[in-house]
């Protein structure tokens, strides 16, 4: 699980600051840190697509409204 830290935390081989995103912890550790307010889960970013959902087709010089197949 990917989390974003809200507080600083460090260990023997790492140091994380507020705003850092990491996947270094187990699921149980992530849940514990989220519950105690030390971190928040990171969701996958939504990607916007600049695509017309219902494009207009042209067949034999006649516009046809509908979805392509």
The pLDDT tens digits of the residues spanning 5-50 come to 999 999 999 999 999 999 999 999 999 999 999 999 998 777 777 7
- In a domain, residue 62? The reply is no
Domain assignment present for residue 2? The answer is yes
Q: Which residues contact 9 (CB under 8 A, 6 or more apart)?
A: 15, 16, 38
pTM over 0.85: no
Residue 58 pLDDT exceeds 90: no
Say if 67 falls within a structural domain: no
Strand partners, 39: 5
Higher pLDDT, 68 or 46: 46
Residue 68 falls within a domain, yes or no?
no
Count up the domains in the chain and report the number: 1
43 compared with 60, residue with greater pLDDT: 43
56, pLDDT greater than 90: no
């Amino acid at each position: 699980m990917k989390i974003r830290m809200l507080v600083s935390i460090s260990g023997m081989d790492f140091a994380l600051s507020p705003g850092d995103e990491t996947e270094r912890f187990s699921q149980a550790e992530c849940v514990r840190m989220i519950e105690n307010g030390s971190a928040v889960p990171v969701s996958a970013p939504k990607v916007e697509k600049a695509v017309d959902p219902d494009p207009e087709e042209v067949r034999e010089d006649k516009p046809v409204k509908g979805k392509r197949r």
